[in-house]
Amino acid sequence: MRRTPLLFAALVLTAVVISPRAPAAGPARVIARQDATTKTIWDGIYTEEQARRGEQVFKSECSYCHRDDLAGGFLDDGVERAPALAGPRAFGSSLVERWKDLTLTDMVATIAATMPQQKPASLTLQAYLDVVGYLFSKNNIPAGSRELPSDVESLGQLLITAKK
Ligand code: HEC
């Protein structure tokens, strides 16, 4: 089991690296394709139930550094600081500012590859998805009726944008 999340992270990172935004296809075709398939974080792409599961993950794996209220704070060394993940200055500015124009693949892969800081890629893909759902819920991004998908291709069609 320990291998699975590592493998996943490697897979996702590969996907990120090898899928540039297809400039050769021509702008019109790219836009047509995006209209047909792309949803954004404002379309209800996770569920409240998923966010509740994510809260449990967060409490056991993340809140030690990012704090129960997600406000972040200094680590034990008193020097390094875990950023706030909700509220003013979340992610250094805001969730949207930090991840704007990236896809859920980018966000999940980055978090999976780097967190929990002392043990990156140690959780299951489902746990990472659930915790991202929790972060959405804490950043006023609306829940919907479908959970975040667990395949890389579908995740790659979910875009982080500023609110319309
Ligand atoms: C041992 C302390 C620690 C734990 C545990 C921890 N983090 Fe972090 N986290 C940090 C620090 C320090 C940073 C800032 C430096 C960095 O990005 O590596 C950070 C940064 C982040 C970022 C911002 C990354 C970016 O690129 O903007 C996110 C998101 C995040 N953590 C999520 C999580 C989640 C989710 C968990 C639990 C699965 C978690 N962290 C567990 C210390 C921690």
CATH code of the domain containing 111: 1.10.760.10
Q: In sequence order, what are the residues at sequence separation of 6 or more whose Cβ sits closer than 8 angstroms to the Cβ of residue 89?
A: 83
Which range of residues forms the domain containing residue 140? 3-19+38-159
For residues 115-143, average pLDDT: 98
**Tally of CA atoms within 13 A in the half-sphere of 91 that contains its CB:** 14
In a domain, 145, yes or no: yes
More confident residue, 12 or 114: 114
In 119-141, which positions are buried (b, 16+ CB within 10 angstroms) versus exposed (e)?
A: eebebebbbbbbbbbbbbbbbeb
25-70 pLDDT per residue, tens: 445 555 444 555 789 999 999 999 999 999 999 999 999 999 999 9
Pocket around ligand 1 at a 6 A CB cut-off: 61-62, 64-66, 75, 80, 82-83, 85, 91, 98, 110-111, 114-118, 131
In a domain, 164, yes or no: no
> Which of 85, 88, 67 has the alpha carbon at shortest distance from 138?
85
Q: Which of 13-17, 18-22, 115-119 is the least confident region?
A: 18-22
Q: In whole angstroms, give the CA distance from residue 70 to residue 134.
A: 11
Does residue 71 have a pLDDT over 60? yes
More confident residue, 4 or 83: 83
Burial class of 38 by CB neighbour count within 10 A (0 to 12, 13 to 18, 19+): middle
> Residue with the nearest Cα to atom 23 of ligand 1?
91
In a domain, 12, yes or no: yes
- In order of 26, 91, 114, 129, 164, the CA distances from 53 in angstroms are 41, 21, 21, 10, 28
In a domain, 26, yes or no: no
- In order of 65, 122, 164, the CA distances from 118 in angstroms are 10, 10, 37
Which H or E element spans position 80?
none
In a domain, 123, yes or no: yes
pLDDT attached to residue 21 = 47
Taking only Cα atoms into account, the Rg of the chain, rounded to an integer number of angstroms, comes to 16
* Spacing, Cα 24 to ligand 1 middle (Å): 36
For 37, the token pair is: 């398939």
Mutating to test ligand 1, I would choose from 8, 55, 100, 114 the residue with most ligand atoms within 8 A of its C-beta, which is 114
**Residue 164 pLDDT level (bands cut at 50, 70, 90):** confident
For residues 119-134, average pLDDT: 98
Q: Which atom of ligand 1 is nearest to the CA of 64?
A: 5
Q: What is the mean pLDDT of the chain?
A: 87
**Residue 16 pLDDT level (bands cut at 50, 70, 90):** low
In a domain, 146, yes or no: yes
pLDDT attached to residue 33 = 47
% the chain with pLDDT above 90: 75
* Spacing, Cα 120 to ligand 1 middle (Å): 9
In a domain, 30, yes or no: no
% the chain with pLDDT above 70: 77
Tally the domains of the chain.
1
> Residue with the nearest Cα to atom 36 of ligand 1?
62
